[in-house]
Structure 1
Amino acid sequence: MTSIGMNWILCSFKTNDAVEEILNRGPWYISGFIFGMDRWCPEFDPNSFKGISAPVWIRLPNLPLYCWDEDNLARIASCFGTPMYFYSNTFRWGKREFSRICVRIELEKKLLIGVWVEGSAGRFFQRVEYEKIDLLCYQCGKVGHEVKSCPKNVSVGIQDLKCGKSFDANNEDIKEVTDGKKPITSAEFGPWIHV
């Protein structure tokens, strides 16, 4: 095992059989975290998540009771990634606060905060919470960096000639709402997306 920077580790194996067993039998757990592995390719860039996927546990809080079966849970989870495993207590009657599913997500894509589901009792919005994702940007919704180093913040400002202030053209995801007293900033992403 060799550290290649940016929290990436390159693993080499003596046989192809060992490689196949490691890649196909995962996900692996190290200190309580899911550890995802992919085959190395020449296009790999440690500064990018392009083409990289990882197993992540998601929670579906306040899921309607009529959705608590394998087919419905797999259908909803597939909107977030490729379902891999259900948590062992998912179908126990005493555990209906949330459903917990391991899905393989594409790390280069913006994380979803929820999905619209067509259910037998009508359409509803199902929120999602992600477990143990350390670096998540609350501005763009992508994994691997925080707001202070978000690529959306790197822009050429347009100078307002009257007051000398710069205008950030990339700030369309943040809305100001007035409650009659002071403006309240409302953003799509925040700590509520984490477990």
Structure 2
Amino acid sequence: MIIWVQLPELKIHFYHKEVLNTLGNLIGRTIKLNYHTLTQQRAKFARLAVEVDVSRPLVPRIWLDDDCQPVEYENLPVVCFECGKIGHSSATCPLLWSALI
């Protein structure tokens, strides 16, 4: 699934095509970099499209140097905050329910 992600308040020295592609590949597989991100017109956040494996937990943050960089996902379907997978909520998480049985 291809999803747009935001890296809020990413330090401006990371706003280079190669670096942004590498960051996207830490989240999934980089598909596209947003034009405004590449031209540094809007430095409030970096925006990139990544392909993620929805059968695996989403990456909530990445480490850059010694800083924790949050990853925000745009327009996601239902996400479980117990196991991090897309498609069900925490209330119906199979992982949680199997632990209770």
- TM value normalised by structure 2: 0.90
Corresponding residue number in structure 1 for 2:93 = 150
Q: CA deviation at 1:157?
A: 4.2
Does 2:35 match 1:92? no
Q: Secondary structure at the match of 1:155?
A: helix
Q: CA deviation at 1:136?
A: 0.3
> Sequence identity of aligned pairs in percent?
27
Report if the CA contact (8 A) 1:59-1:129 is conserved.
Answer: yes
Does 2:60 match 1:113? yes
Corresponding residue number in structure 2 for 1:22 = none
Does 2:26 match 1:79? yes
Which is greater in Rg?
A: 1
Mapped to 1, the partners of 2:100 and 2:20 lie a distance apart of 45
Select the structure that is richer in helix: 2
Output the amino acid matched with 2:23: I
Off by >6 Å, runs of 4+ in structure 1: none
Deviation sequence 1:12-59 (CA, Å, 0-9, x none): xxxxxxxxxxxxxxxxxxxxxxxxxxxxxxxxxxxxxxxxxx111000
Aligned length: 101
Q: CA deviation at 1:105?
A: 0.5
Deviation sequence 1:112-153 (CA, Å, 0-9, x none): 1111123xxxx2211100011121011111111011110122
Output the amino acid matched with 2:38: F
Q: Secondary structure at the match of 2:36?
A: coil
Q: Secondary structure at the match of 2:21?
A: helix
Report if the CA contact (8 A) 1:76-1:117 is conserved.
Answer: no
Mapped to 2, the partners of 1:146 and 1:126 lie a distance apart of 25
Q: CA deviation at 1:65?
A: 1.1
Q: 1:93 to 1:86 in 2, by over 3 A?
A: closer
Consecutive unaligned residues in structure 1, runs of 5 or more: 1-53, 159-195
Consecutive unaligned residues in structure 2, runs of 5 or more: none
Report if the CA contact (8 A) 1:77-1:83 is conserved.
Answer: yes
